[in-house]
Amino acid sequence: MSLPTPEQFMQRIVDVGLADRLTVEQARRELDAGAMDLDELIRAMQRRGVLTTLQTEKILRGDRIGYFYGKYKVLYLIGAGTFARVYRAEKIGDLDTLADETKGKAIFAVKVLRKRFRDEVAQLDQFLREGRMGLKLRHPNIVSIYDINADTYNPFLTMEFVEGQTLRDLMKLRDRLPPKTAVKLMHDIASGLAHAASMGISHRDMKLSNVLVSSEGVAKLVDFGLAALADRNNPEKIADCPNARAIDYAALERGTNVRKDDPRSDIYFAGAMMYQMLSGKPALTETRDRLQRLNVSRFEQVTPIQKVVSDLPAPVIQVCTKAMELKPGERYQTAAEFQADLKKTMQRLEAGPTQKIGADGKVVVSYPEDEEDRTNEGEGLVVMVVESIVKMQDMIRQRLKNRGYRVLMISDPERALSRFDPLDDPPADCVVFSSLELGEQALEAFNRFGSDEHTAELPAILLVDRRRANMISAAKQGPRRRLLPLPLKVRELRGALSQLLADTPRRQMR
């Protein structure tokens, strides 16, 4: 392809509508009056702002279209995917005549469907679907879509321009993100998901490349092209969204036996993004093989985050692990719940860790619990705690009472067992046996509680030092029996109580 002469180049600028002849001539006058060199002319045009690099390349190729989309002039290419390109563009005309939400904005992002997909109905529908979903969503953590051009010959979306980069590009530059940064970005992401969920919309394509991180460090969700819109007249029916890009979602939902488009799926894959931010490694094995991606074993074989990164703060491990629980019932049930826990985690990280001496004489690093926030999660439930150390009694009693539980504290295991008379209603809904000081006495009582006919169906928990392998192996475990490690984390105790007592009828407390 031969290059144009300087005169031809200037005429092409005018012909495609990038500038009028007077503007072009004024830029050319920067050069010497002698013979013009094309390279010098190009530099002058770019220096005066007549052309951008992208526009220059198109003119040199002889392109006659692609400089404008509607009333938007294309400036630079800022992103390119399989199905679409995204350009930085400026609005032509009086900015004060724009709609209120875009008034005063000069720069926008214009997303254009690639030409080869414009004749494919499914791809065009998906592209326009993204626009329709985006028009419904206005939130600081979701990239706004302002307009849709549904012309099949020239389909494009006008969007909020975000100065920054995708989370995927950010992770390419960083081995892994600091826990505070990862939690903050994930809180932004969960906030966007929670807003979409409040509108009945789930994202269905949560991945690093679908999150933009602004230059101010704010995360924003993009690309709701696969989003599912709940039918509010029939909660059991979810809008169909068949697409090969959703294969990981399909594998998760089939493998865990939940309905298609379960909103908790977004939470799982958001958790997988958090896992990668914290570790620098993908949670799921990456493969292009369709059968392997549909195999639920990919989800079962995820290495626990604490084994990949040994120095993560406990609150961060807890929130990431819960988001990625394979069993849907043990995962966060809503994006709002996920968001709230991330906020508390940020507060705990900001407060910083404390150090104390554990039962074994070693230093234990812990983060402040959020016990000042009273809840009623244990309202109507009674927990008996068998513990002989007064400080432990006081700590457990106060923490559980703050959560609504009624707590019975007993220091003698034999006396605790005697309280459960076969002829009377059980005095407690669950018993916690602590072996911190009681040792084998607590273990024996725990096992008897599980074998006696009148208490066998009642939940029980044994607190045991993880180094006491003989005690752990001797403990009789089962669906209603749990072992929790010492030193005790009340957060873990609450989680175990919540699961064991999920189906227990609540009592009328006096």
What is the Cα–Cα distance from 23 to 31, expressed in whole angstroms?
Answer: 14
- Kindly provide the residue ranges of all beta strands, DSSP E only, lying in 183-246, ordered along the sequence: 201-202, 211-214, 219-221, 228-229
What is the Cα–Cα distance from 84 to 120, expressed in whole angstroms?
Answer: 13
Q: Is the peptide bond before 4 cis (omega within 30 degrees of 0)?
A: no
Q: Which helix (H) or strand (E) holds 113?
A: strand 107-113
Residue 194 vs residues 140, 220, 263: alpha-carbon distances, Å: 12, 13, 10
DSSP H stretches of helix in 16-112: 21-28, 38-47, 53-61
What is the Cα–Cα distance from 22 to 28, expressed in whole angstroms?
Answer: 10
Q: Is the peptide bond before 479 cis (omega within 30 degrees of 0)?
A: no
What is the Cα–Cα distance from 491 to 377, expressed in whole angstroms?
Answer: 13
Q: Is 152 exposed, middle or buried (0-12, 13-18, 19+ CB in 10 A)?
A: exposed
The single-letter DSSP state of residue 372 is: T
Q: In sequence order, which residues have a C-beta less than 8 Å from that of residue 319 and are 6 or more positions away?
A: 183, 274, 338, 341, 342, 345
* Residue 111 annotated as binding site: yes
What is the Cα–Cα distance from 314 to 490, expressed in whole angstroms?
Answer: 12
Greatest CA span in the chain, whole angstroms? 112
Positive or negative CA dihedral for 134, 139, 143, 145? positive
The single-letter DSSP state of residue 379 is: T
Q: Which helix (H) or strand (E) holds 276?
A: helix 264-279
Q: What is the dihedral of CA 398, 399, 401, 407, to 10 degrees?
A: -80
Show binding-site residues for ATP.
111
Show binding-site residues.
111
